[in-house]
Structure 1
Amino acid sequence: MNGRAITSDLLLGMIPIVLLVALWQALVSFGYAPVTLLPPPGQVFSRMAQQLLSTTFQQEIAATLFRLFAGFSIATVLGVTIGLAAAVNPAVNAVVRPIVRVLAPLPKVALYPALLLLVGFGHQSKILLVTFDALFPILLATYYGASTVEQKLIWSAMAAGTPPREILFKVVLPAAAPSILTGCRIGLVISCIVVFLAEMITSTDGLGHALVTAARTFQAVDMFVPLITISLVGLILNGLLELVRSYLLRGFPEA
């Protein structure tokens, strides 16, 4: 993807955001929403700029990012490993398939009270919740990508003398990379949502906790700042992951 295409995509992507902010401002300006409940965007963005320079708010962001990255990293390692194993080994597939069918549709937030009782109210419960939620999209994408690798690629590698144990890493894994990275993008979005939700339910720090604290004290402006911040965090992380995807898949026509 060349620079002109990237610039065009960025400009097109900004249009819905600009329209949303304009609608927000219109609702406030024409009195459709009280300022005490829906402050004007200029006031929120001004407060956000102040908060970003605050050490306390930076610590809230750091706590959220730590939980997000820890949970997402564990989910990625487990999802890719289990997905590849299930795709190449029928015995593993027979064990994993019913577990995925039962647990994948389950709202993982329902497990959060049990996690709190098991590991406490610290980082661990939130990291585990993020891991459980992000795991299944990555696992399923990996399994699908590895299962649909063209058989002729494997035959060609075997004919070229590639040892069977190396085929997984030299043929199957690279061929499944587009699907795996797509699953990682989905898992990353889910991680942003879940870590914020977990911090809202029970936490003493993090962006979700900052929102709940502001809501309890009726600070509408401070309530919108964490919402916008977590949205920007997700946007930035998604963009970085897209750059990584473009780099890793630079030899693929669809990349």
Structure 2
Amino acid sequence: MNARALTTDVLLGIAPIALLVALWQAISSFGYAPVTLLPPPGQVFMRLAQQLATGAFQHEIAATLFRLFAGFSVAVILGVGIGLAAAASPAVNAVVRPIVRVLAPLPKVALYPALLLLLGFGHESKITLVAADALFPILLSTYYGASMVEQKLIWSAMAAGTPRRQILLKVVLPAAMPSILTGCRIGLVISCIVVFLAEMITSTEGLGHLLVTAARTFQAVDMFVPLITISLLGLILNGLLQGLRSWLLRGFPEV
């Protein structure tokens, strides 16, 4: 991708965000919503800048990021591993397929009360919920990506003397990488949503906890700060993952 195309993509990405902020400012300025409920964006961003300079707010961000990365990492390891195994082994596929069909449509947040009873109110229950929600898009993307690998690539590797146990890692995994990384991007977005929701339901720290605390005390500005923060974190993490995808798939013509 050349510099001109990259600049165009950045501008096209910024434009809708700028329009959304402008609409927010217009609603607040013309009195369509009371300032006590919808403070102007300038006030929110100023408060965000103040909060980012404090150690307490940085601690809340760190708690959220720890849960997000831990749960997402577990989902990636399990999703890619199980997806490859299901694509390579009919026996594993026969076991995994009905489990996925039953559990994939289930809203995992419905299991959160049970996770709280089993794992407590600390990091463990939230990490488990994030992993459970992010697992299935990664698993399914890995499975379908590995299943769609051209058979002639496998035959060529076998003809070249590649051991069968190494074909999965040296042939199937690289060929399925575009699909796997797409699943990871979906899983990352889900992880951001789920960790924030879990912290809103029950937590003593994290961005979701800050939002609930601000809402209970009718602090509208402080309520919007965690929302903006998790949105910015999601934007940054998605950009980093897109950069990693472009680097890993630099030999693919579509990247």
Count of residue pairs brought into register by the alignment: 255
Q: 2:71: which partner in 1?
A: 71
Aligned position for 2:138: 138
Distance of 1:246 and 1:124 partners within structure 2? 33
Amino acid at match of 2:123: H
Q: Residue 55 of structure 1 aligns with which residue?
A: 55
**Secondary structure of 2:71 counterpart:** helix
Aligned equivalents of 2:126, 2:87: Cα separation in 1 = 30
Q: Aligned residue for 2:206? A: 206
Superposed, 1:97-246 pairs within 5 Å as 97-246=97-246
Partner of 2:22: 22
Paired residue secondary structure (2:161): coil
Within 2, Cα distance between the matches of 1:31 and 1:105?
A: 42
State TM-score, norm by structure 2: 0.99
Counterpart amino acid of residue 88 in structure 1: A
C-alpha separation in 2, matches of 1:105 and 1:169: 30
TM superposition score normalised by structure 1: 0.99
Give the partner amino acid of 1:153: L
CA apart distance, 1:2: 2.2
> Structure 2: which 5+ residue stretches go unaligned?
none
Q: Which amino acid aligns with 1:189?
A: V
- Deviations along 1:40-69, one digit per CA (max 9) or x if unpaired, are 000000000000001110000000000000
Cα distance in 2 for residues equivalent to 1:4 and 1:68: 34
Question: CA RMSD, aligned part only?
Answer: 0.5
CA shift, 1:211, in A, is 0.3
Alignment partners' CA distance in 1, 2:92 and 2:42: 55
CA distance in 1, matches of 2:86, 2:240: 29
**Identical positions, percent:** 84
The runs of at least 4 consecutive aligned structure 1 residues that moved more than 2 Å come to: none
Distance 1:240 1:246 in 2: 10
Deviation for aligned residue 1:71:
0.1
- Secondary structure in 2 matching 1:49: helix
Which residue in 2 is equivalent to 1:82? 82
